[in-house]
C-alpha cells in the first residue's frame, strides 16, 4: 500500500461527494439541536461541534499530504479517522441507552447507518479494520452494561447478550470478508496489468526485431553490393542507402529512449508559444509540396512546465503523421489554445486528466481520418496504420509518453474531415517565464 495513493483514496472517499457530505453534516447539526431541545440536554450540541472539529482536522491533514506522504503520515490519517468515528458514534450510543423509546429507536437507526458506512468504506488496512471493530465493540459494550440492569428477566438478559454478540461478530466478519475480497480483486487486477505489460513487451520486442532486421538487411545488402561494384557512382549509391538505413535505425532507438523516458529531461517554466516558434522553423521542410501549414499562437501569455526539446519533438511527430495522412495535399493547422476541464477527462490510453486549466497544442489535418475502431490502439507501441516501411508505430506512443511525463495527456478526435491530435499540458501560475530550454527554471 503506497501512503500517498491511500491518503488520496481516503480524501476522495470522504469528501468527493459534496452533496452527500453536506447532507450528513446538516443531518447531524439538526439532530444535535433537536436532541438538545427534546431531551433538555445542552451537552448534545457537543455532537456537531466535535464532529465538525474532527472533520476539519482530518480534512486539513489529508489535504496537506496529497503531494508527499510517508507511512507515518498514513498512520496519523487513519488514527484521525478513528477519532472522527468516535466523534459521531458516541451520540447514537447515548441515545440507545436511554429509556425514552423515541431516542432509543433513533439511536439504533443511526448506529446501523455507521455500521453500513464502515463496511462501504472498503478499507484494506488491518490496523484500520481492527481499530474500527474495537471502537464499535467498546461502544456497544458500554451500551450493553448500561441497559442490562433494566431487564429483570434472565431470558431477556441472555437474549440481549446473544444479540449483542451476534451483531458484533457479524460486523467483524463482514469487515474482514470485505477486506479479503478487496485484496483478491486487487491481486487479480495487478496480475492482469502484469499480463498486459508482458504482452506489450512481447509486442515491442517483436516490433523492434522486425524493424531492425529490415534496416540491417538493407545495410548488409548495400555493403555486399558495394564490394561487387566497381564504378564510383554505384558504390556511392550503396553507401548512401546504407547511411539512410542507419539513420532510420537510430531514429527508432531515439524514439524508444523517449518512449521509455530514458533521455535526459530538463523541466522549465516555458512560455507556451516557445515550442511553436521552433516548430514553425523546423517542420516546413518535412512537409509535402501540396501541404500548407498554418501556425496559430496564443494571444495571451500562458506557461507550462515541460522540457522544451521534447515538446518540439512530440509536435514534429504529430506534424509528420498529419503530413502522411494527406498524400494528395491539404491544410495542416498547428495552434495553441487554453482549455478548462471542469470534470475528469478520459484521454488516450484510458487515463484521466483531473479538472483544471490546460494549454492545448492542437495538430489538425484534412486527411481521411482514423476509423473509430482503431482509435483506442493508436497510442500502443508499434501499432501503425501506415504501410510497411512508412512508420515505426512509435510516434504517437512517444507523444503520449511525453505528455504523461509532464502531467498531461493526449486527446485524439477523428472524422471524415480529418484528425485532430491535442497535447494537453497543465497551465501553471508563475511570475518567472522562460522561452527556451537554455534558460534557468
Convert the pLDDT of each residue in 270-285 to its tens digit: 899 998 988 887 777 7
Using 50, 70 and 90 to split pLDDT, how confident is the model at 248?
low
The per-residue pLDDT for 197 is 58
Residues 273 and 422 in one domain: yes
Are the C-beta atoms of residues 391 and 384 closer than 8 Å to each other? Answer: yes
Using CA atoms, how far apart are residues 163 and 249, in angstroms rounded to an integer?
74
Predicted pLDDT at 392: 52
pLDDT of residue 382: 58
Q: Is residue 199 one of the residues assigned to a domain?
A: no
Higher per-residue pLDDT: 286 or 179: 179
389 — alpha (psi -120 to 50), left (phi > 0) or beta? left
pLDDT beyond 80 at 215? no
What is the spatial distance between Cα 176 and Cα 178, in angstroms, rounded to a whole number? 5
Reported as type and span, the H/E element at residue 363 is: strand 356-364
418 domain-assigned = yes
Cα three-residue angle 43-133-75, rounded to 5 degrees: 90
Closest CA to 421 of 382, 374, 375: 375
Q: What is the pTM of this model?
A: 0.52
Q: Which of 133, 150, 167 is the last residue of a domain?
A: 150
**Best-predicted range by mean pLDDT among 75-89, 138-152, 173-187, 255-269?**
75-89
Question: Domain total for the chain?
Answer: 2
**Joined grid coordinates for residue 294:** 498554418
What is residue 437's predicted lDDT score, i.e. its pLDDT? Answer: 42
| In a shared domain, residues 277 and 412 | yes
In this structure, are 276 and 416 located in the same domain? Answer: yes
Terminal-residue alpha carbon distance, the chain: 34
Q: Could you count the other beta carbons within 10 Å of the beta carbon of residue 362?
A: 19
* Residue the block writes with cell 491511500: 6
Give the confidence band of 394 by pLDDT, cuts at 50, 70, 90. Answer: low
Q: Which of 150, 182, 209 is the last residue of a domain?
A: 150
The pLDDT value given to residue 85: 92
- What residue numbers bound the domain in which 113 lies? 3-150
Q: What is the percent of the chain where pLDDT is above 70?
A: 84
Take residue 213 and report the three cell numbers written for it: 532486421
**425 has a pLDDT exceeding 90:** yes
Q: Would residue 12 count as lying in a domain?
A: yes
Contact 270, 306 (CB under 8 A): yes
pLDDT single digits (tens) 370-388 = 777 777 777 776 556 555 5
| Mean pLDDT, residues 180-209 taken together | 70
Q: How far is CA 10 from the centre of its chain?
A: 15
Q: Is the pLDDT of residue 440 over 80?
A: no
Residue 183 and residue 124 in contact, taking contact as beta carbons nearer than 8 Å: yes
In a domain, 173, yes or no: no
Only one residue has cell 537510430, namely 250
% of the chain residues with pLDDT over 90: 16
374 Cα distance to chain centroid: 23
Contacts of 123 (CB under 8 A, 6+ apart): 129, 132, 175, 179
User: Does residue 370 fall inside a structural domain?
Assistant: yes
| Domain end position, chosen among 100, 116, 150 | 150
Q: Which residue has the higher pLDDT, 408 or 284?
A: 408
CATH label of the domain that carries residue 301? 3.30.565.10
Tell me the C-alpha distance between 110 and 93, whole Å.
Answer: 9
Taking phi first (over 0 means left), then psi (-120 to 50 degrees means alpha), and beta for anything else, what does residue 72 get? Answer: alpha
What is the C-alpha separation between 69 and 5, in angstroms, rounded? Answer: 9
Name the DSSP class of 98: S
State the pLDDT confidence band at 265, using cuts at 50, 70 and 90: low
- Residue 331: DSSP 8-state: E
336 sits in the region (left: phi over 0; alpha: psi -120 to 50; else beta) called beta
| Inside any domain, residue 334 | yes
pLDDT at 439: 39
Residue 405 lies in a domain: yes
Residue 183 has pLDDT above 60, yes or no: yes
Adjacent-strand bridge partners of 331: 292
Residue 441: predicted pLDDT = 34
Task: Let me know how many helices (H) and strands (E) the chain has, helices first.
Answer: 11, 9
Residue 203 included in any domain: no
pLDDT for 300-343, tens place per residue? 888 998 888 888 888 888 888 888 888 888 889 999 999 998 88
Question: Range with the lowest mean pLDDT among 48-57, 208-217, 253-262?
Answer: 253-262
pLDDT bucket at 350, cuts 50 / 70 / 90: confident
Estimate the crossing angle of helix 154-228 against helix 101-120, to 10 degrees: 20
Q: How far apart are CA 69 and CA 46, in angstroms?
A: 32
pLDDT category, 227, cuts 50, 70, 90? confident
Q: Across the chain, what does the average pLDDT equal?
A: 82
Amino acid at each position: 500500500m503506497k501512503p500517498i495513493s491511500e491518503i488520496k483514496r481516503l480524501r476522495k472517499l470522504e469528501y468527493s461527494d459534496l452533496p452527500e457530505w453536506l447532507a450528513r453534516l446538516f443531518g447531524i447539526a439538526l439532530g444535535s439541536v433537536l436532541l438538545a431541545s427534546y431531551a433538555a440536554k445542552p451537552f448534545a450540541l457537543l455532537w456537531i461541534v466535535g464532529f465538525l472539529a474532527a472533520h476539519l482536522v482530518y480534512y486539513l491533514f489529508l489535504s496537506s499530504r496529497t503531494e508527499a506522504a510517508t507511512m507515518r503520515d498514513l498512520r496519523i490519517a487513519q488514527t484521525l479517522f478513528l477519532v472522527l468515528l468516535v466523534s459521531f458514534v458516541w451520540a447514537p450510543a447515548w441515545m440507545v441507552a436511554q429509556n425514552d423509546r423515541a431516542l432509543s429507536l433513533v439511536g439504533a437507526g443511526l448506529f446501523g447507518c455507521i455500521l453500513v458506512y464502515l463496511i462501504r468504506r472498503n478499507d484494506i488496512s488491518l490496523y484500520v479494520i481492527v481499530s474500527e471493530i474495537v471502537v464499535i465493540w467498546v461502544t456497544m459494550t458500554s451500551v450493553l452494561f448500561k441497559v442490562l440492569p433494566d431487564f429483570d428477566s434472565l431470558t431477556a438478559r441472555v437474549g440481549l447478550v446473544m444479540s449483542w454478540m451476534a451483531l458484533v461478530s457479524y460486523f467483524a466478519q463482514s469487515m474482514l470478508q470485505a477486506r479479503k475480497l478487496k485484496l483478491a480483486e486487487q491481486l487479480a487486477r495487478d496480475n492482469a496489468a502484469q499480463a498486459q505489460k508482458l504482452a506489450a513487451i512481447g509486442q515491442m520486442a517483436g516490433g523492434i526485431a522486425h524493424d531492425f532486421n529490415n534496416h540491417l538487411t538493407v545495410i548488409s545488402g548495400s555493403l555486399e553490393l558495394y564490394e561487387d561494384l566497381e564504378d564510383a557512382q554505384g558504390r556511392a549509391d550503396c553507401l548512401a542507402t546504407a547511411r539512410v538505413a542507419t539513420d532510420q535505425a537510430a531514429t527508432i532507438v531515439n524514439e524508444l529512449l523517449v518512449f521509455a523516458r530514458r533521455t535526459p529531461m530538463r523541466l522549465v517554466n516555458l512560455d507556451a508559444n516557445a515550442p511553436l516558434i521552433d516548430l514553425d522553423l523546423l517542420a516546413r521542410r518535412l512537409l509535402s509540396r501540396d501541404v500548407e501549414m498554418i501556425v496559430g499562437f496564443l494571444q495571451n501569455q500562458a506557461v507550462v512546465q515541460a522540457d522544451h526539446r521534447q515538446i518540439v519533438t512530440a509536435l514534429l511527430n504529430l506534424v509528420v503523421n498529419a503530413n502522411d495522412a494527406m498524400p494528395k495535399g491539404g491544410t495542416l493547422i498547428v495552434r495553441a489554445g487554453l482549455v478548462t476541464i471542469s470534470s475528469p477527462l478520459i484521454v488516450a490510453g484510458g487515463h484521466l486528466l483531473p479538472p483544471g486549466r490546460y494549454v492545448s497544442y492542437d495538430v489538425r489535418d484534412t486527411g481521411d481520418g482514423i476509423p473509430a475502431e482503431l482509435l483506442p490502439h493508436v497510442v500502443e507501441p508499434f501499432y501503425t496504420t501506415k504501410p510497411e516501411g512508412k512508420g515505426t508505430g512509435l510516434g504517437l506512443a512517444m507523444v503520449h509518453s511525453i505528455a504523461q511525463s509532464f502531467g498531461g495527456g493526449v486527446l485524439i478526435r477523428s472524422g471524415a474531415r480529418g484528425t485532430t491530435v491535442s497535447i494537453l499540458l497543465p497551465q501553471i501560475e508563475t511570475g518567472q517565464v522562460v522561452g527556451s530550454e537554455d534558460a534557468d527554471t
